Amino acid sequence: MSLALPRALMFVGVDWAVDEHAVCVMDPSGEVVTGFVIGHAADAIARLVRRPAKFGPAGQLPIAIGRPNGRLVDLLLEAGHPVVPVKPNAIKVWRESEGPSGAKNDLRNAEVVADYLRARQRRLRVAAPYSDHTKAVRTVVRTRGDLVEARVAATNQVSALLAAYWPGALALFADVESRISLEFLTRYPTPTSAARPAIKDLDRSTAAHLGEHPDGEVFTSLPRSGQINAAQMLTE
């Protein structure tokens, strides 16, 4: 669902990027009031949400941004701003229709977004804030998605390390993230640690076979022979 754009005191354009965001505040006549760039960290985004407040109530400061969702969009909606998602292709066409305007940069892109919002305000629609029920479901879904992504990354890393340093353990299990695989790797994180219980098992088996051998008693009676040494002498 989308809403009509309310009467605006200023128009804000955001050029969204992965690492930082350029912001332009434009008055109704098309004059740029201010422009700035912020990072993607939580405190920087919080400043972006607070900064337009000096120009008037949030409800009269619509913000156009080139994506329909995300943490930044959520915070702007929660602050009361009318958020207008704009398509990057529409901004590109608008920029080209306005003719050459100098070298492109992030602040200039934000200015184009703000001008697009100002000029086409009657034809644009505002994104409706999410209901509390939708927010609750979205939080759970996003958290699960983050955990799945982290698990896949960790599994790939474990598989790569095993392939490089312990390919035998990698070949033991069809799924390296299975419970039995993870328990095995937790108990025996290196080939050496895994070899120790195997050696103990073989020690017990050696002693048992030695006890059943007809000549076993002869070799175990030798001074300081021990079960393993006696078995080695017997077999040699």
The whole-angstrom separation of Cα 4 and Cα 123 is 8
What is the average pLDDT across 101-117? 82
> What residues have CB less than 8 Å from 161, skipping those under 6 apart?
none
Residue with more model confidence, 53 or 61: 61
Residue with more model confidence, 18 or 114: 114
What would the pLDDT profile of 206-219 be if each residue is shown by its tens digit? 888 878 888 878 88
Indicate the SS3 state at residue 58: helix
What pLDDT was estimated at residue 29? 94
**pLDDT grade for 194, boundaries at 50, 70 and 90:** low
What pLDDT was estimated at residue 195? 63
What pLDDT was estimated at residue 35? 92
What would the pLDDT profile of 3-15 be if each residue is shown by its tens digit? 677 788 999 999 9
| 13 in Cβ contact with 112 (< 8 Å) | yes
The interaxial angle of helices 42-50 and 71-78, nearest 10 deg, is: 30
Q: Is residue 103's pLDDT more than 60?
A: no
What pLDDT was estimated at residue 3? 66
What is the average pLDDT across 75-88? 89
Q: What DSSP character marks residue 215?
A: T
What is the average pLDDT across 42-65? 87
Backbone φ and ψ for 213, nearest 5 degrees, come out as -75, 140
What pLDDT was estimated at residue 113? 94
**pLDDT grade for 42, boundaries at 50, 70 and 90:** confident
Backbone φ and ψ for 206, nearest 5 degrees, come out as -65, -45
Q: How many CB atoms lie within 10 A of CB 109?
A: 22
Alpha helix locations (H) across the chain?
Answer: 42-50, 71-78, 88-97, 106-119, 132-165, 167-172, 179-187, 191-212, 216-220, 226-235
**Residue for token pair 């895994």:** 194
**CA max distance for the chain:** 108
What is the average pLDDT across 158-179? 84
Q: Is residue 37's pLDDT more than 80?
A: yes
What is the average pLDDT across 139-143? 79
Q: Is residue 1's pLDDT more than 60?
A: no
> What residues have CB less than 8 Å from 112, skipping those under 6 apart?
13, 91, 94, 95, 98
Residue 183 structure tokens: 């328990």
